[in-house]
Structure 1
Amino acid sequence: MSVKQKTLEVLENHRGKFVSGGELANTLQVSRNAVWKAIKSLEQEGYDIEAVKNRGYRLAESSDILSEQSIRKYLSDTRGKFQLEIRKSVTSTNELVKQQALSGAEEGLVVIAEEQTCGKEKSGRVFYSPKGTGIYMSVLLRPKISMKHAFAITTSAAVAVAQAIEQVSERKAEIMWVNDIYCDGKKVCGILTEASYQMETGKFDYVVMGIGIHVKLPESGMPVELGSKTDCVFQQTETDVRSQLVAQVLTRFWDFYQRLESLPFLEEYIQRSCFIGKNVTIETKEGIREGNVLSVNRQCHLVVAMDDGTEEEFSAGTVRLKNDCKLNTG
């Protein structure tokens, strides 16, 4: 770890409090000039650091730049499960992690970007990923589970994100089958899971779980085409909530991941599901069907009482509330 990274770690651990230059130098076993250079470099990267004579340096409470140091102080990662990589800008965190997976990267690699220029949703649309306001994160997994439990990765992640949002923001979070998170009827998060597996053995080579969360409202606001159906977790915030959210999501997801086949998250997934009890239309390859959603089963299929009196399960399809706009594609 460089002097700059070590300096940031100390400042993060004392966020909002002054740390003297002498204390930093002694802690890091470097000269005070080296500390001064590290501070200047951090300021050039955008960190709001106050310097006061005879008091030292203080990282502002309002600083919300993502860094390994800002995340790890909230992360319950005593066994070193995650290898965090923070990038300024990428085309797509999922694409980057897939490349690293093919190069032999270990499970637990997490790539987080301040900005994506070509992030994507399950539908194929571009996921709006402006600089400095969201969480754009992909996690590399090498699960030992069978293909029949593949759905559990996305659904457990959905519950982990919903829990994390409620913990940090105190806003109620619901799951829009099968992979989106909504607050007050608007989408705040999308999850895209991509995998490579061996047909002969039915085992996974790797899984890349991508999570995009709209955390804070960009200065220019949301694009017109998203404004009526997309929201941010916070309208205004002056704390490092993005780092807190990342840590909460990773910690909660990893707990589920260790027990995927027992589906410890399923009951909560069902409780948080927006569609249960609602009349919907379902657009599939075979055509459009209508019915009332009864439940989500143990395979996370949508169980629907159809208008013709039959009961069917759906593992995929575009679902709409009747007389409403399109909500989600499974």
Structure 2
Amino acid sequence: MVYNHGNPCYTDRDRGDMMSLKEELLRYLEEHREAPVSGQLLAERLSVSRAAVWKAVKSLEEEGHRITAATNRGYQLEAASDVLTAQGVRYHLRPAYRDCAVLVERRVGSTNTQVKKLAADGAGGRTILLADEQTAGRGRMGRGFYSPALTGVYMSLLLRPETDSAQLPIITVAAAAAVCEAIEALTGLETQVKWVNDVLVGGRKVCGILTEAVSDFESGRTESVIVGIGVNVKTPPALFPAELREIAGSLLPASVSRNRLAAEIANRLFDYAADLPGRAYLEPYRRRLMVLGKRVRFYREGAWQSGRAVGLDGDGCLEVETPSGAVLLRAGEIRMEGEPI
């Protein structure tokens, strides 16, 4: 696997060299989910014997893929098959992004930590890393992010925007808008945003976002931005730790492919990131902002203060009216009135 800093995406030749027969077969089945594909056609397309195709199918099934095999019809990935794969994600990416690096791990400590290492090794913008499970998922303010296996989309995207660290809050806003739009488009669920980085469905948090920058010490220029996104897709309520059961939720009972959801989030975030100054993401974000007009508490100058959230400025900062005057929150987090501190 070779990264080119000037061209962050894999070429078709690179990808072909990396793919095993099993990976090529999975890609083909992913691209033809709508109908069975005959073993003979697969053998011809992949330049192998039908016996080799059969063995590859069995190997994929052992990994958890659900594949229907019907006599005289062929092989077909079942609709309920939801194994997270690079092929599955890439298939749902828009053509403009389909050649970008997509990496999938079964278990990592933190996807953001892994992508920071990739960035240091020269990975280019629009690199996507996903994991089935995080053992040390990270949230804002040093908190952990609960990331049980096979139930969520845990992903980090590497961006190389032409911006400075002062613009980090606006990238988080763009990411939240992308997540909301992707969830609504694929599930029909209504989403809300709690400033600045929590996405809620039905009043429960289903997604958290952690944006981190890697900057050049001397120039202060932001070399890369890592956007970590964790979505609880099909986490049963009983699986959440006791301290999270009253506040966390998932997209259940809605059903959505994790591969497709990850790709749709990436599509929308890459679109927004291509024109951060255009601020196209501000209105979708503002429209879903649940705190406007409500009383909130925020930590400032060493103490908790309170006021009424009245607006969102052009940089994604929250405008709060307090007894002592207007306050503009550029970072940090807020609590709704009555919410524990």
Indicate the TM-score class for this superposition, using the shorter chain for normalisation.
over 0.9
1:14 aligns with 2:32: yes
- How much does 1:199 deviate? 4.0
Aligned 1:1-330 pairs, distance under 5 A = 1-15=19-33, 17-78=35-96, 80=98, 82-218=100-236, 220-235=238-253, 237=255, 241-308=257-324, 310-326=325-341
Structure 2 unpaired stretches of 5+: 1-18
Instruction: Encode CA deviations 1:216-274: one digit per residue, 9 max, x unaligned.
Output: 1248532221111011012363xx52112111101111111111022121122222111
Output the CA distance in 2 between the equivalents of 1:289 and 1:259: 35
The 3-state SS of whatever aligns with 1:201 is: coil
Output the CA distance in 2 between the equivalents of 1:273 and 1:161: 13
The 3-state SS of whatever aligns with 1:292 is: strand
Amino acid at match of 1:21: G
Name the count of aligned residue pairs.
323
Give TM-score, length-normalised by structure 2: 0.90
- How much does 1:32 deviate? 0.9
Contact 2:307/2:322 (CA < 8 Å) preserved in 1?
yes
Q: Which moved more, 1:221-230 or 1:154-163?
A: 221-230
Amino acid at match of 1:284: R
- How much does 1:313 deviate? 1.0
Contact 2:107/2:134 (CA < 8 Å) preserved in 1?
yes
- How much does 1:210 deviate? 0.5
Q: Give the superposed CA RMSD.
A: 1.7
Residues 219 and 269 of structure 1, relative CA distance in 2, 3 Å threshold: closer
Whose helix proportion is higher, 1 or 2?
Answer: 2
The 3-state SS of whatever aligns with 1:150 is: helix
Output the CA distance in 2 between the equivalents of 1:318 and 1:153: 16
Output the CA distance in 2 between the equivalents of 1:187 and 1:168: 18
Contact 2:132/2:154 (CA < 8 Å) preserved in 1?
yes
- How much does 1:113 deviate? 0.4
Output the CA distance in 1 between the equivalents of 2:167 and 2:203: 29
- How much does 1:81 deviate? 5.6
Structure 1 unpaired stretches of 5+: none
Output the CA distance in 2 between the equivalents of 1:209 and 1:76: 19
Contact 1:159/1:269 (CA < 8 Å) preserved in 2?
yes
The 3-state SS of whatever aligns with 2:141 is: coil
Amino acid at match of 1:321: M
Give TM-score, length-normalised by structure 1: 0.93
Output the CA distance in 1 between the equivalents of 2:254 and 2:240: 14
The 3-state SS of whatever aligns with 1:129 is: coil
Contact 1:217/1:235 (CA < 8 Å) preserved in 2?
no
Instruction: Encode CA deviations 1:4-56: one digit per residue, 9 max, x unaligned.
Output: 11111121122253221111101111111211111111011011112222222
Amino acid at match of 1:153: I
The 3-state SS of whatever aligns with 2:140 is: coil
Amino acid at match of 2:327: E
Contact 2:169/2:330 (CA < 8 Å) preserved in 1?
no
The 3-state SS of whatever aligns with 2:163 is: coil
Q: Which moved more, 1:261-270 or 1:24-33?
A: 261-270
Output the CA distance in 1 between the equivalents of 2:217 and 2:86: 37
The 3-state SS of whatever aligns with 2:96 is: coil
Residue identity over aligned pairs, in percent, reads: 38
Output the CA distance in 1 between the equivalents of 2:125 and 2:317: 28
Amino acid at match of 2:194: M
The 3-state SS of whatever aligns with 1:111 is: strand
Instruction: Encode CA deviations 1:145-185: one digit per residue, 9 max, x unaligned.
Output: 23332322111011000100111111111111111111121
Q: Which moved more, 1:262-271 or 1:225-234?
A: 262-271
- How much does 1:144 deviate? 1.3
Amino acid at match of 1:161: V
Contact 2:293/2:309 (CA < 8 Å) preserved in 1?
yes
The 3-state SS of whatever aligns with 1:264 is: coil
Tell me the equivalent position of 2:12.
Answer: none
